[in-house]
């Protein structure tokens, strides 16, 4: 079986220049110091679509990519002009020419991939949902803190323009004491049973489904806005019981295509998150209600302020294309700053990943 090859050996795309190591503690490079971090990406899909272009747009060098299928790894390396590819994720994590590992594999594989990268002294940016259990999330956090590496979870939507603006206005007291938040995102994106998904995404035992994929982003955002969660409850449903897979077969669905989450925060605020991919009408709305006004992100992504007793004011227009990539790049810049030694750089860490995992597990348990 093909384990690891370079595109140069296969006559593929040109290799990228190797960055010179600098700094201390293993010599991690810094974009702030005029050098690029050398990154290995574990996982295709979102890794190829967002991580690779986002990292490159911030000046970093993508050295290698790993996927479980060697033919897929090779195809992505050729398509994206990545110098090296492998079907051995653990080997990629141990490579001497990598400073940071982006773990974009399915959730049940994060634990092994992250721990391998940490053991090799790499900084880690891990996809969400962070883990398959609270125990795994805690183990990854403890290992990262012992090793002293920079660790982050890819909750990049914190840095979408409207969400960042809501955070700023909550901190500024623009709407007073926040008391109630409603998040509703629904569409018919997977209403048809013939709309294929990756097999792991359809399985609850592999932590597929909307709760982990999308609600986790909102749980992180709401914690960022409102503080710690005191209690979490929820309901999960799979309205489409069987679905086509990207692997070419059909699978009985055990993960959720619809979820509803109720959160109570330590502050006393309440929040609901309602998500579905299997309804006819498309709805996308976020409402943040306070004691002196409200903020609303409408279906177009505009941010509106509704002061108590005064006309509504548009604070931000609808975003253009590429909002997710822009948010991811903002996250990468913050992680890069921490690698460069900026201890004030703010971003979601493994500690945030553990906190979100605790909420997810509470919802899974309540929905049984």
Q: What pLDDT was estimated at residue 320?
A: 87
State whether 188 and 81 are in the same domain.
no
Average pLDDT over residues 180-205: 95
Strand stretches in the chain, DSSP E: 4-6, 38-42, 61-66, 84-86, 100-103, 123-126, 151-153, 178-186, 229-237, 242-244, 250-252, 258-265, 270-276, 283-290, 293-297, 303-307, 313-316
CA distance 158 to 165: 10
Q: Place 321 in a pLDDT band, splitting at 50, 70 and 90.
A: confident
CA distance 330 to 324: 10
Question: Which domain-ending residue is among 121, 154, 187?
Answer: 154
Question: Bridge-partner residues for 237, per DSSP?
Answer: 258
**Which CATH number is 115's domain given?**
3.40.50.720
Structure letter (DSSP) for residue 202: G
**Shared domain check, 16 and 66:** yes
Domain identity same for 45 and 112: yes
Residue 55 CA from chain centroid, whole number: 14
Rounded to two decimals, the pTM is 0.90
Task: Count Cα atoms within 13 angstroms, Cβ side, for 347.
Answer: 28
C-alpha neighbours within 13 Å on the C-beta side of residue 308:
9
Contacts of 36 (CB under 8 A, 6+ apart): 19, 29, 59, 60, 61
Do 182 and 116 fall within a single domain? no
One domain for residues 105 and 182 = no
Domain hosting residue 109, numbered range: 4-154
pLDDT recorded at residue 7: 42
Q: What is the pLDDT of residue 11?
A: 31
243 pLDDT above the threshold of 70: yes
Q: What percent of the chain has pLDDT over 70?
A: 90
pLDDT score for 236 = 98
Contact 336, 32 (CB under 8 A): yes
Chain segment 129-163, per-residue pLDDT in tens = 999 999 999 999 999 999 999 999 999 999 999 99
Domain end among 110, 132, 154: 154
Is the same domain home to 205 and 323? yes
Query: How many residues does the structure list for the chain?
Result: 368
Q: For helices 216-226 and 350-367, what crossing angle results, to 10°?
A: 120
Question: For residue 31, what pLDDT is reported?
Answer: 39
CATH of the domain at 289: 3.30.360.10
Asked whether the predicted pLDDT for residue 213 surpasses 70, the reply is yes
Q: Over the stretch 250-308, which tens digit does the pLDDT of each residue have?
A: 999 999 999 999 999 999 999 999 999 999 989 999 999 999 999 999 999 999 999 99
Determine the Cα–Cα distance for residues 260 and 281; give it in Å rounded to an integer: 17
Does 231 have pLDDT greater than 70?
A: yes
Q: Looking at residues 213-227, what average pLDDT do you find?
A: 98
Q: Are 33 and 137 in the same domain?
A: yes
Residue 199 has pLDDT above 90, yes or no: yes
199 shares its domain with 105? no
Q: What is the pLDDT of residues 84-136, one digit of tens each?
A: 999 999 999 999 999 999 999 999 999 999 999 999 999 999 999 999 999 99
* Per-residue model confidence (pLDDT) at position 368: 77
Do 64 and 95 belong together in one domain?
yes
Domain boundary (125, 154, 183) is at: 154
Q: For residue 36, what pLDDT band results from cuts at 50, 70 and 90?
A: confident
pLDDT of residue 275: 98
Instruction: Check whether 187 has a pLDDT greater than 50.
Output: yes
Average pLDDT, the chain: 91
What's the average model confidence in pLDDT over 316-332? 94
142 and 161 in a single domain? The answer is no
20: CB partners within 8 A, 6+ apart: 29, 35
* Residue 360 shares a structural domain with residue 267: yes
Tokens of 278: 């299997």
209 and 144 in a single domain? The answer is no
Structure confidence at residue 364 (pLDDT):
97
How many domains does the chain fold into?
2
**What average pLDDT does this structure show over 39-54?**
96
Token pair for 66: 């790993």
Percentage with pLDDT > 90 across the chain: 88
């Amino acid at each position: 079986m093909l384990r690891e090859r370079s595109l140069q050996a296969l006559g593929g795309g040109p290799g990228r220049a190797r960055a010179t190591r600098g700094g201390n503690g293993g010599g991690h490079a810094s974009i702030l110091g005029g050098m690029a971090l050398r990154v290995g990406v574990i996982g295709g899909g979102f890794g190829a679509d967002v991580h690779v272009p986002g990292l490159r747009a911030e000046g970093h060098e993508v050295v290698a990519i790993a996927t479980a299928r060697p033919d897929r790894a090779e195809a992505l390396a050729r398509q994206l002009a990545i110098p090296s590819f492998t079907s051995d994720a653990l080997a990629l994590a141990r490579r001497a020419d990598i400073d940071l590992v982006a773990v974009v594999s399915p959730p049940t594989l994060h634990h092994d991939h992250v721990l391998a990268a940490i053991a090799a002294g790499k900084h880690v940016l891990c996809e969400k949902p962070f883990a398959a259990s609270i125990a795994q999330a805690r183990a990854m956090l403890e290992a990262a803190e012992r090793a002293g590496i920079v660790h982050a979870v890819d909750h990049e939507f914190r840095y979408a323009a409207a969400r960042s603006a809501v955070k700023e206005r909550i901190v500024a007291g623009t709407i007073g004491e926040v008391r109630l938040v409603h998040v509703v995102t629904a569409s018919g994106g997977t209403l048809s049973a013939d709309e294929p998904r990756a097999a792991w995404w359809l399985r609850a035992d592999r932590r597929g489904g909307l709760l982990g994929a999308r609600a986790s982003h909102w749980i992180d955002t709401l914690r960022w806005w409102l503080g710690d969660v005191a209690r979490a409850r929820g309901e999960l449903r799979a309205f489409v019981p069987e679905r086509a897979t990207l692997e070419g077969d059909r699978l009985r669905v055990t993960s959720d295509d619809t979820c509803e989450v109720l959160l109570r925060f330590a502050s006393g605020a309440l929040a609901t998150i309602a998500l579905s991919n299997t309804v006819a009408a498309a709805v996308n709305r976020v409402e943040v209600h306070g004691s002196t006004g409200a903020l609303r992100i409408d279906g177009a992504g505009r941010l509106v302020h509704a002061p108590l007793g005064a006309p509504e004011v548009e604070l931000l227009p609808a975003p253009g294309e590429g909002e997710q990539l822009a948010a991811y790049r903002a996250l990468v810049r913050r992680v890069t700053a921490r690698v460069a030694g900026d201890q004030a750089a703010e971003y979601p860490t493994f500690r945030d990943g553990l906190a979100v995992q605790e909420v997810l597990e509470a919802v899974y348990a309540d929905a049984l």
